[in-house]
Amino acid sequence: MAKLLDKQRYKCALGAMQSVQAIQRALPILHSGPGCAQKLCESVGSSGYFSPNIFPCTSVNEKDVVFGGVKKLDSTIENALKVIDADLYVVLTGCIPEIVGDDSEEVVSRFADSRKPVIYAPTAGFKGNNYKGHEQVIDAIVNQYLKKTDKKQKGLVNIWADVPYQDLFWLGNIREIEKLVSELGLIPNTIFGYQRGIGQINKIPEAEFNLLISPWVGVSSMKNMERKLGIPFLHYKTLPIGATETSRFLRTVGEYAGVDKEITEEVIRKKEDYYYYLIERYADIFLENRVINKQFTVVSDAQYVLGITKFLVNDLGLIPAKQFVVDDTPNKYREEIKEEFKNLNYGIKADVSFETDGYKIHEEIKNHDYHGYPLVLGGYYEKEVTEKLKGNFLNISYPVQDKVVLDNFYAGYAGGIRLIEDIYTVAVSRFN
């Protein structure tokens, strides 16, 4: 039976237009109803050379539902190619044309000979949320644009992390992970963000391997690339935050890429030295047990719930209450992800629930005994319930209302420090 979703935390698959937008000089062409882009975009860093307000759109109406919208799509693509100077045009379809049965793929194939590449990703809302849409966009690039090559660049590694714009810290995170990987002597290649565009996409097939850092988003795309381009992949499930996980991450990547162990350990030693120097200086605040809450809950998508839970347990020694994964993780990945939560230091296990209904989550938070004030890291929806419980709240994931993030990040050693700063800023302000 159809039901209402209370407090949704993701968008429809057409939200993948933001993944396209994150690729510099790549333009989404929307085959959708008027207003789709307006509803899906948020003014969080989405203006620039292209912004959702100028994305070409077929604005399908009743007539196109009855008579089909392929003519309109054809002319929209044709004119977008004439009017807008982009490097890559990605046609994204919304619900209406997919239900009506427009053969958008056929229309796009007419532009195979155009000067600039035009590709097509089916992103109808009923196919899934924008996490799935993101995968569709990557698949479209791989299947329709890239060609397998025997030319390989030594040490080149494609890095894939979570979904741009959906993840508040996407830009900072991926840059930080790039930095870490390059310190191992590898050459990182990513396609999202500043100065990452068609040039980086062209380099994808030359990579030695793909590195995916995400619990589940992108796994199917990695498998697709393995098949189509012959690039093997390393799947690292946890977003590395803080020293424990980042060191483990570097060792795993180093070992997989065949990096000299001594080089890896030297990088880790240097990074950890500085990390623990900072922790040591503020030891009094960490050891003062009245400052921080006894138990915490993370309400977010799988990558942050897993990453932050591991960080808070392994690095800060906090005790996890129930954790909530709200990204509608497909069933086939859930068991694997649950296993990761049993894999914490000091034999600690975290209870995790895959729940999209905000009401149920809030009821559980209200009914749990946090042995004091709770620490809740989540979307803005959790602010009110945390305030009612007199707890400490930090907005770390979608939806974001009380934070402006330009290129801040939580990944890596430095990211762990940033997160500590943010959490303790909230915690100590209670005493002022």
Partner 1 sequence: MEYKIAVGTSEGIQVDLKFGEAAFFQIYLADENGFRLLEKRQIKSSSPDGKTLLSGCDGYSEKEKLFGGSCEGCTGNGHGCGAPGDIADKVNLIGDCRCIVCKKIGFQAVRQLERKAISVFDVDCSVNDALNKITSYYTRIDSGMKN
What contacts 141, CB < 8 A, 6 or more positions away? Answer: 88, 90, 119, 191, 201, 204
- The letter for the amino acid at 311 is F
- Considering CB under 8 A, how many residues would be counted as binding partner 1? 5
Give the bridge partners for 287, in sequence order: none
Distance CA 103, CA 82 (A): 23
Site for partner 1 in 191-210 (CB under 8 A): none
Distance CA 94, CA 36 (A): 8
Binding segment toward partner 1, per CB under 8 A, in 22-30, 60-68, 80-88, 271-279: 60-68
Beta strands in 123-240 (DSSP E): 156-160, 187-189, 209-213, 233-236
Length of the chain, in residues: 432
Distance CA 317, CA 23 (A): 38
Does position 34 interact with partner 1 (CB under 8 A)? The reply is no
CB of 82 to partner 1, least distance (A): 23
What is the separation of C-alpha 321 from the centre of its chain, rounded to a whole number of angstroms?
24
- The letter for the amino acid at 216 is W
CB of 34 to partner 1, least distance (A): 14
Site for partner 1 in 321-350 (CB under 8 A): none
CB of 66 to partner 1, least distance (A): 5
Nearer to partner 1, 2 or 406 (CB): 2
CB of 103 to partner 1, least distance (A): 16
Distance CA 299, CA 358 (A): 10
Nearer to partner 1, 64 or 315 (CB): 64
Over the window 151 to 190, marking each residue x when it contacts partner 1 by CB under 8 A and - when it does not, the resulting string is ----------------------------------------
Over the window 62 to 91, marking each residue x when it contacts partner 1 by CB under 8 A and - when it does not, the resulting string is xx-xxx------------------------
Structure tokens at 47: 């203006």
CB of 61 to partner 1, least distance (A): 9
What is the separation of C-alpha 421 from the centre of its chain, rounded to a whole number of angstroms?
22
CB of 99 to partner 1, least distance (A): 11
CB of 101 to partner 1, least distance (A): 12
Binding segment toward partner 1, per CB under 8 A, in 46-54, 58-66, 351-359, 379-387: 58-66
Binding segment toward partner 1, per CB under 8 A, in 32-40, 59-67, 217-225, 422-430: 59-67
Distance CA 166, CA 192 (A): 13
Nearer to partner 1, 67 or 282 (CB): 67
DSSP secondary structure letters along 37-73:
HHHH--SSS--SSS-GGGS-B----HHHHHH-SHHHH
- The letter for the amino acid at 221 is S
Residues that bind partner 1 (CB under 8 A): 62-63, 65-67
